[in-house]
Amino acid sequence: MAYALSTTKRKFHRILDSFPNGSTTSLAPITKHDNASITTFAEYAARKKARSEKRPMNSRTSETPQMSLVNIESERAEVSKQTTPEKKAPYFVPWDRDAFLARLKTFQHVYLWASKPDEVNEVQWAKRGWRLLDKDTVACSGCGKQVVMKLELDEPIIRENGQEDVATDEEEWRKKAQDQLVEKYAEMIVTEHGTNCLWRRRGCDATIQRMRLTQPESTLSDLRARYISFSRLKTILPTSLRTPENFDIGYNSQRLGTYLLESTTSSAVEQREPTTRVLNEDALKFALFGWEAEAADGLEVARCNACFRRLGLWLFILRPNPENPNEPREAIVDRLDLVHEHRDYCPWINPTSQSGGRAANNIMSDPPEPAGWEMLQNVIRHMKHSPDAASPKPISLSELGSPMSASTLLDRKERVAKDQERWAKLKKLKQVFRVKRPKRVGMDKDEKGKMVRPHTAT
């Protein structure tokens, strides 16, 4: 037992001797931690030094903050675009002609909208805020209402001898039914809007179709742009054109030759494609009657920006003959009528549309109200002669009437006399409604006519 106890004590003391002293034990982990910290700091300093050597000196002070601000601004712009909704144009603008034409343009395709009577044609629907949505279906962008218009028009039966056949009882009944249906659709143009829709209360004015032809400078500038669009197509331009009898292309060519062919760079169209030095009279005819050339799906067409009628020019040109190149085939359509190819309501040919309804009210007026192409002729007639043709002479609205309006104007003295007579009548009418003021009590007039009290009168 004594030997075992001594052996156990010896092992215990040997274990105690193997431990270091207390101070070393407490400092060892600290020293190890400090060495690790120093090593980490040294690596950080080395990395920072390497980055500073690769980058210019001024990049740390000026470029880095600037780039960060740019990135912040770009991020803010992207966030604002995503969060800010797009502003929609107001739907109720009955005075805006551009908005009216945008609605009218939706009716241009004949396979979606066939010709309708004047009371319910596309102009009447567009004036009340309707636009074409689908085949014979119109919709209002304000209230969202939709109307499907089904109207089958019966054409008169023509006999072989060319005379119109006498309508039977059944055909007369169908015609009356169609007239009643047209009246019903005319009412629906207004009543089919929502109860709170503003288009239900008011539509566009009768002058909404009127073209702005009172400013000679802008009118002639638009004419020149239309002429340039057709002058590019001179190789395939139809030559068999029909114009009114009172239209003189020679006079227009003489008046507009210098203006159309002068080498100016006032517009972007002329900078891209300068005009040639030879006047193309066929292109001028198209331009004078409101037509403009455009390319649609690789085909050349003529369009009107007032009624949105489109003509395929390939229908009116001579076709090549493979068998005999010297004798080309005839065109599909013999002649192109520059007036009748417009739609009936187009202001270029319709005086009522251009005058805002005055032509319909003044049927027997002398001179009659002019159409758009006639007003353009008057602008050309009153423009300055070359070489200063680019600055047309300002003319009055009375001179923009029909070609014979200058000879029918009243004499200046007669107009002045009539004006004086009207002013005299107005003065007499004003005296009738003039009420005399009662005299103030205790007041009197002095020698100068001023109101004074009696004790101060002199």
pLDDT tens digit sequence for 116-152? 999 999 999 999 999 999 999 999 988 999 999 988 7
Mean pLDDT score of the chain: 74
| CA 359/CA 330 separation, integer angstroms | 40
Q: Cα(156)–Cα(39) distance, rounded to whole angstroms?
A: 106
pLDDT-derived band at 401 (thresholds 50, 70, 90) equals very low
Strand pairing class (241-242; 336-337):
parallel
- 200 pLDDT exceeds 90? yes
> Element (H or E) spanning 219, and its range?
helix 216-231
pLDDT band at 35 (very low <50, low <70, confident <90, very high): very low
The pLDDT value given to residue 332:
78
pTM: 0.62
| Cα end-to-end span (Å), the chain | 159
pLDDT at residue 424, rounded to an integer: 82
Asked whether the beta carbons of 282 and 238 are under 8 A apart, the reply is yes
Query: How far, CA to CA in Å, does 297 sit from each of 300, 301, 336, 341?
Result: 8, 10, 22, 22
DSSP string over 22-49: HHHHHHHHHHHHHHHHHHHHHHHHHHHH
Where residue 30 falls among pLDDT bands split at 50, 70, 90? very low
Q: Report CA dihedral (27, 29, 35, 39) to the nearest 10 degrees.
A: -160
Of residues 313, 380, 309, 393, the one with CA closest to residue 347: 309
Residues 314, 236 contacting (CB under 8 angstroms): yes
- Answer for the pair 383, 393: CB distance below 8 angstroms, yes or no: yes
**Tens digit of each residue's pLDDT (9 = 90 or more) over 92-102:** 899 999 999 99
Whether residue 104 contacts residue 308, with contact meaning beta carbons closer than 8 Å, is answered with yes
Cα separations in angstroms, 178 against 154, 182, 277: 9, 6, 56
Greater confidence (418 vs 386) lies with: 418
Say yes or no to pLDDT of 340 above 50: yes
Tell me the C-alpha distance between 45 and 51, whole Å.
Answer: 10
Asked whether 211 and 222 are in contact (CB, 8 A), the reply is: no
Q: Which residue has the higher pLDDT, 148 or 57?
A: 148
The amino acid occupying position 330 is E
Residue 425: phi, psi to the nearest 5?
-65, -40
| Beta-ladder partners of 319 | 329
Contacts of 195 by beta carbon, 8 Å cutoff, 6+ apart: none
Closest CA to 140 of 187, 190, 96: 190
CA 152 to chain centre: 33
For the chain, give the percent of residues with pLDDT over 70.
59
> Given this model, what pLDDT does residue 138 score?
95
